[in-house]
Structure 1
Amino acid sequence: MADLKLDLERHRAVRAGKSLDLTQKEFLLLALLMRRAGDALSRTIIAEQVWDINFESDSNIVDVHMRRLRLKDR
């Protein structure tokens, strides 16, 4: 997404000139996805990088946050 900008120092995200209201974890998730654009990331890698936890296969924390992040862009 060429129109998406992240300010890592201020923890701000802007898309198409509009500021996105993100939680801290949503921002960290978005930053990870942008840094690793084009890479296929497993839920394990995402959970370890964003939440600093060992991923439990029955947890849907990554799915929930991905969905919330996608909805913020609408």
Structure 2
Amino acid sequence: MHLTKTDVVAVLGPVDDAFIADLVATGATTEELTQAWAWVNSDEALMGEGRPLPSGKVAELVDLLAPQEEEP
């Protein structure tokens, strides 16, 4: 089942409605969002466990969730 606003808030906490819309637009599931959130917050630990790098919708969500670095 695809993400809803309620799903996004349950995983991430309160976030901007426009950001929620971007996440929902990916067509991802709650499980995929949860996996992406785990990668964003502890990628080194997950790689240490031997998990493969995210792909597909999880990778797309990681790109949206990862903090954007400002260019100098």
Is TM > 0.5 for Structure 1 vs Structure 2? no
Q: Is the strand fraction higher in 1 or 2?
A: 1
Q: So what's the TM-score if we normalise by structure 2? A: 0.36
Tell me: higher relative CO, structure 1 or 2? Use CA pairs within 8 A at least 6 residues apart. 2
Q: So what's the TM-score if we normalise by structure 1? A: 0.35
Q: Is the helix fraction higher in 1 or 2?
A: 2
